[in-house]
Structure 1
Amino acid sequence: MNHDSIKNDLLRLEEKLLTPEVRTSEIELSKLLADNFFEFGSSGKVWSKQSGLGPNGIGTVRMSLSHFQIHPLNEEIVLTTYQIFNEEKMQHSLRSSIWKYEKASWQMIFHQGTPIP
């Protein structure tokens, strides 16, 4: 895979994680989040896949993504960075995710949200 292909794939997955259809589906989230996934949320809470996933997924929010970049760490691990605007809270945040390519698909293993004052 080349840089542009990886960037397009990961942007599509990050945007997919913002959709109500995926956020409310335990099945879809389980496909995208690695078993060892954890997050430092913009709320300051720490989440894991096990603690964050319930029958209703992780809930819905209205967010838009911008300034998306990728930073390959090796051939199968990539750091993504971007900004999110939470339309409900009217708040911007910096975001970073680590994705791992394994068994012909990408899974998120880490995510962090940091509010922008």
Structure 2
Amino acid sequence: MSFEALSEKIIHLEKRLLDPKIRKSAEELDKLLADEFIEYCTSGHVCNKQEVLDSLPDNEEVEIIPSNFIVRSLAQDVVLLNFETFNTSSGVTLRRSSIWKIINGTWQLFFHQGTKAKS
């Protein structure tokens, strides 16, 4: 797979995670998140995959607009994705980093961190 095709795939997967329908689906999130998944949340809390699956939003339909994607290959089976998001309901911009890794032949999110951008 070319780097351009890989970049498009990783960006597509990340955008799926921002889709409100996917964010509410334990089944879909279970496929996208690695079992070893860790997230450093903007609150400072560190959560794992099970905590994410246990705390799915109910009917929240927040629009999160992603932009400024930068994909970097860290190894043959590991990719770093940096990007920004804008939350239309809170007006908050986050700078985000995601590490995607091939696990059992499938790209899964291994690590994520979101940090509030200075206004």
TM over 0.5: yes
CA contact (8 A) 1:29 1:57 kept: no
1:20-35 → structure 2 map (5 Å cutoff): 20-35=20-35
Hey, which bits of structure 1, 4+ residues long, moved more than 4 A?
A: none
Q: Which runs of 5+ in 1 are unaligned?
A: none
Deviation at 1:102, TM superposition (A): 2.5
State the Cα RMSD in Å. 1.4
Deviation at 1:20, TM superposition (A): 1.5
CA contact (8 A) 2:34 2:103 kept: no
1:6-44 per-position Cα deviation (integer Å, ceiling 9, x unaligned): 110011011100111110000000000000101011222
CA contact (8 A) 1:52 1:58 kept: no
Deviation at 1:58, TM superposition (A): 4.8
Q: How many Å separate the matches in 2 of 1:50 and 1:20? A: 19
Q: Could you tell me which residue of structure 1 aligns to residue 107 of structure 2? A: 106
**SS of the residue 1:17 aligns to:** helix
1:70-91 per-position Cα deviation (integer Å, ceiling 9, x unaligned): 1111000000000011111101
The count of corresponding residues between Structure 1 and Structure 2 is: 116
Q: How many Å separate the matches in 1 of 2:41 and 2:89? A: 16
Q: How many Å separate the matches in 2 of 1:50 and 1:29? A: 10
Q: Could you tell me which residue of structure 1 aligns to residue 81 of structure 2? A: 80
**SS of the residue 2:11 aligns to:** helix
1:87-106 per-position Cα deviation (integer Å, ceiling 9, x unaligned): 11101110000000133320
**SS of the residue 1:67 aligns to:** strand
Distance 1:58 1:35, change over 3 A: farther
Tell me the TM-score normalised to structure 2 length. 0.91
Q: Could you tell me which residue of structure 2 aligns to residue 9 of structure 1? A: 9
Q: Which runs of 5+ in 2 are unaligned?
A: none
